[in-house]
Amino acid sequence: MEALTQLQLAFDAVLGLALLWLAWQTLASPELFRAIVLFIAFGLLMALAWVRLEAPDVALAEAAIGAGLTGALLLTALSRLEPKNKSKIPHSKKPESEVDE
């Protein structure tokens, strides 16, 4: 029993820390696309957190809304935003490299 409780405690601790860190990174990210992907990841982990709080119904709603639909809506909104930024600063963006290391 003891070891099982400790394992669950470790799971909850990792989950909580990851959630806090993700929330901070999402808010602090200067790049919109990165913030959206981090938000989707946040939704996934939040659903797991609701599961650990023994609220499967809220987890179901979080999975459907937080991770699935809001992510798609935010991505669509971003694609509507992008052309405006591009016309303002035409060639300031330097090409990103596809291969690292």
The residues binding other proteins (CB under 8 A) are: 1, 3-4, 7-8, 10-11, 14-15, 18, 22, 25, 33-34, 36-38, 40-41, 44-45, 47-48, 51-52, 54, 56-57, 59-60, 63-64, 67-69, 71-72, 75-76, 78-79, 82, 86, 93, 95-101
**27 versus 78: smaller Cβ distance to other proteins:** 78
Name the residue among 27, 22, 37 with its Cα closest to residue 78.
37
CA distance 101 to 96: 13
Which of 37, 41, 51 has its CA nearest to residue 19? 41
Smallest separation, CB 64 to other proteins (Å): 5
